[in-house]
Structure formats: structure tokens, C-alpha cells
Amino acid sequence: MSLILNQEVAAYQENGYHLHKKQLFSKEKQARLNEIFEEQLAQKGSKLSDELDTPHFRDERLLEFLLSDEVLDLVEPFIGPNIALWSSHFICKDPFVGRATPWHEDSAYWKNRVDGFDQIITVWLAMDRSNKENGCMRVIPGTHRNGFSEYEAVDGVKNTFDTQIKHVDDSQAVYFELEPGECSLHDSRIIHGAAANTSPYRRCGYTMRYFSTNIKVLQDTDHRGEEFKIWLARGKDLAGNKYANVK
């Protein structure tokens, strides 16, 4: 049974996002995920807390969550029944020093990596309370239909990226305020970002990103030239992709 109503799917298609203000996992399952995150954070070494990219490559315990029915049942109404796992990322903004995330489109960073962007979705699961005070995510509704934006350079030390979209009207922003265990979903093409965390409260989220398997992955290496693995999460492959869990 779908967790999502038809009118919620229609609103997602119109606005490019959906807020799921319910607990995604059981209390026990969320606690296990929290433990894994804290381990990853303790082992990060010189990396910043917002740089824990593709942690499931290092710790396959995370596949219990990434390939779970709880997540896939939430995603399926938006991108269909044939679902692949694209990536995941712990994004933690530490108190007082958490960097800003400039306005951007996820899809702009994947040019030449996939042959389409219209059925890629990100689930942003709140590990901590996420609100305006500690720099929650914000989006500009409807911008997933605008195509690629024009970018300009920004300070890559103070920000999680060294570029940002030019001329964004902040007054149109919708802020994703979430309690721990709640989540948001957004289209890969929507303009989004987050202010710096200048509060005394940590803001951590786990992003889980999926795509419809009719999308072809054109290269299986990341921006560092390292192997980039994808998993067939549900249904069947439609584009001839290579999956880590399908021999």
C-alpha cells in the first residue's frame, strides 16, 4: 500500500518536493542508523563533518536502510517501480561552524554521468532536528522545470561547494523544518541550498538518492576517478546498467 496520496504526487510534480512529516523508520531501526552515523563521524579523520560522501561504500550495513521497503515504498509513487540506488551522503553541519550550502541543482554536478534527470529523487532524512536556526535545507519551488541555471564562483572554504547559482530570489524559499526521523524528498533538478549553522545545535541529515532504471548511467567513476557503484533496489533494469548486487 502506497504511503503517498495521488494529490501528493501531483504536488511533487508541480513543486519539485514533498515533506514527509512522519517517522520513516521504527525507533529501533533509526537508533541503529544513528549508531552507524556516529561511528562514521568518529572515524572521519581530517574530513569535515559535511564530507561523509557515499558512506555505504565503506559500510554496507547502510544497505539495510538504503534498500529498505520503508524508503522504497516512499520513493516508488514519485519515480515508478523500477528503482536503483544512486548514492548516499551524511551531511552534518556542526554547531557554530557548519558551512553554508550554496544555491545549486544536484543535476548540474552530474552532466555527462547520466542520460536523464527527470526521475532522480533524493530522500533527506533528518538525524537531528533541522530548522531555520541551524541551517535547514530550503528550496525554490517549481524550479525543477527551468533547465540548468547559470553559476558563479564562491568561497569554497566557507561553503560546501565553490560555485552557486546566480540571481536566486531567496524570498521564494520554502524551508524544510523536520524533526529527527522525518524526511523530505526533492527532484534532482530543483534549486536548493542551506544557510550556515551559526546555532549551538548540530544539524545532520542522511541523503538517500535513487533513480528510475530507465535512466542510463554513462560513467561508473566519480569526480575523483574512483569506482562508483549503484544497486538495483527494486524492480528490473531498463537501460542496461551495471549493478553492484546483480551478477
Q: Alpha helix (H) ranges present in the chain? A: 6-15, 27-42, 55-58, 63-66, 69-79
Specify the higher pLDDT residue, 31 or 48: 31
Cα 215 from Cα 235, distance rounded (Å): 14
Interior/surface letters 193-208, b for 16+ CB within 10 angstroms, e for the rest: bbbbbebebbbbbbbb
Cα 32 from Cα 116, distance rounded (Å): 34
Give the pLDDT confidence of 188-244 residue by residue, as tens digits: 999 999 999 999 999 999 999 999 999 999 988 776 677 899 999 999 999 999 999
Domains of the chain: 6-234 (2.60.120.620)
Q: What is the pLDDT of residue 1?
A: 53
Q: How many CB atoms lie within 10 A of CB 133?
A: 15
Q: What are the grid coordinates assigned to 177, written together?
A: 523544518
Give this prediction's pTM: 0.95
